Amino acid sequence: MGAFLAEIPGSAKGVLTRRSPSARIACGAGVFVACLASPATTLAGSAFLLCTTAVWASLCGLPLRIAVRVLGLLAAVLLPLILLALLPVGDGWNLAEALRVSWALVARGLASTLVAVATVAALAPWELHEGLEALPLPRVVVAVLSQVVRQADTLARETASMTTAIRLRGGAGGFRAAVVVARALPEVWLPRVGDRAERTARAMEMRDFDGGSLQRTATWSSGDAGLAAATMAWTALGLVLRFWSA
């Protein structure tokens, strides 16, 4: 799992990777918003979501292998929620309404997550930082965001190696290893995350990582600007659909 997350950044090599990192991040965020804003309960809304996700994922060049794996993980997370939503509660309950609600949940969840994963996949780890630097965001936000990403990445790798270590030492594989890891989590892993966060915070302080502003170079090519315009138009379409269906 950890190893899988760590292999996402930079795995996509689609046409979008020719645009500057900051344009990729800004437009990825725009498309993500379009997914959240669009209605999922109408036919047009569902078509919009499907289309948005498919187009963005192929522009990014998200490898099928990763898309499938992400969908599988999401299904595992979303399925219990849907079953919960379908439980009959109270007098006003009807199946059609319950289905509508769970479909909206699933469709938006799937679409926005795939869009986010595709965007991250289209950015090499250093491009993510470069791109954030070039966007007109407060320096602290950039520093914190890029450290969240970097530390999450480090942790993902660490978790993978801890899992291996526990397997090797316990001699247990598969499910049993998973149970052992899950039980060790609060005692071993969380304090470790806390310690690491504290030590990294110290290093950030020492290296003046979040202070002042660096010189920025946000020069977008016409291709970048075109992509941004298209994304804005697309997000607007999502919003129109939302209000039209309301």
Report the alpha-carbon angle 39-40-41, nearest 5. Answer: 100
Torsion angle defined by CA atoms of residues 50, 55, 58 and 59, in that order, rounded to the nearest 10 degrees: -150
Smallest separation (angstroms) from another protein to the CB of 141: 15
Smallest separation (angstroms) from another protein to the CB of 93: 50
Q: Which of these, 56, 61, 68, 157, lies nearest to 116 by C-alpha position?
A: 56
If one asks whether residue 220 binds another protein (CB under 8 A), the answer comes out as: no
If one asks whether residue 1 binds another protein (CB under 8 A), the answer comes out as: no
If one asks whether residue 59 binds another protein (CB under 8 A), the answer comes out as: no
If one asks whether residue 204 binds another protein (CB under 8 A), the answer comes out as: yes
Residue nearer to another protein on the CB measure, 42 or 200: 200
Residues contacting 71, CB < 8 A, separation 6+: 110, 114
Smallest separation (angstroms) from another protein to the CB of 191: 15
Smallest separation (angstroms) from another protein to the CB of 144: 12
| CB 235 within 8 Å of CB 30 | yes
Element (H, E) at 214: none
Q: In terms of DSSP H, where are the helices of 16-63? A: 21-37, 43-60
Q: How far apart are CA 133 and CA 218, in angstroms?
A: 9
Candidate list 214, 219, 222, 246; residue touching another protein; CB under 8 A: 214
Place of tokens 């470790």: 192
Q: How far apart are CA 123 and CA 60, in angstroms?
A: 9
DSSP helix/strand/coil, 213: coil
If one asks whether residue 13 binds another protein (CB under 8 A), the answer comes out as: no
If one asks whether residue 192 binds another protein (CB under 8 A), the answer comes out as: no
Q: What angle in degrees, to the nearest 10, is found between the helix axes of 222-245 and 43-60?
A: 160
If one asks whether residue 161 binds another protein (CB under 8 A), the answer comes out as: no
Place of tokens 């939302």: 242
Residue nearer to another protein on the CB measure, 94 or 215: 215
Smallest separation (angstroms) from another protein to the CB of 125: 4
Scanning 109-117, 146-154, 166-174, 180-188 for contacts with another protein by CB under 8 A, the matching segment is 146-154
If one asks whether residue 206 binds another protein (CB under 8 A), the answer comes out as: yes
Which 78-137 positions form the footprint of another protein (CB under 8 A)?
A: 125-126, 128-129
Smallest separation (angstroms) from another protein to the CB of 189: 16
If one asks whether residue 219 binds another protein (CB under 8 A), the answer comes out as: no
Please name the amino acid found at residue 3: A
If one asks whether residue 211 binds another protein (CB under 8 A), the answer comes out as: yes
Q: Which residues bind another protein (CB under 8 A)?
A: 6, 125-126, 128-129, 146-147, 150, 153-154, 157, 196, 199-200, 202-209, 211-212, 214-215
